[in-house]
């Protein structure tokens, strides 16, 4: 189960990034994190930016509302989804993972 954490500005989402994939996709759950695969390579923040844009697109929000909090150079990342409640994020996760 993916552990969501409430934040004063929204909800914190743990992500396991996979750069250099064949296609951009939300690939399920991995060790309590949302696994997100992107075609971009892990170079100069390109993969992190692609993950951010994919999350925003999937949620139907502007990319500026998805902020990297932790893990700039690591596969394990923590994103803040601004303006999203924990309940909204849980519903979104259930939809995309089913």
Mean pLDDT of 71-91: 97
Identify the burial level of 31 via C-beta atoms within 10 angstroms of its C-beta, where 0-12 means exposed, 13-18 middle and 19 or more buried.
Answer: exposed
Question: Structural domain of residue 55, as residue ranges?
Answer: 5-97
Digit-coded pLDDT (tens) for 23-61: 999 999 999 999 999 999 999 999 999 999 999 999 999
Number of folded domains that form the chain: 1
CATH number for the domain spanning 31: value is: 3.30.1200.10
Supply the pTM of this predicted model: 0.96
CA separation for the pair 83, 66 (Å, rounded): 10
């Amino acid at each position: 189960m993916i552990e969501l954490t409430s934040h004063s500005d929204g909800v914190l989402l743990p992500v396991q990034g996979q750069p250099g994939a064949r296609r951009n996709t939300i690939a399920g759950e991995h060790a309590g994190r949302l696994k997100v695969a992107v075609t971009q390579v892990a170079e100069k923040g390109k993969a992190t930016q692609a993950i951010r844009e994919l999350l925003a697109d999937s949620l139907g929000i502007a990319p500026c509302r998805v902020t990297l909090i932790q893990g700039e150079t690591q596969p394990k990342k923590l994103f803040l989804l601004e303006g999203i409640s924990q309940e909204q994020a849980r519903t979104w996760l259930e939809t995309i993972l089913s």
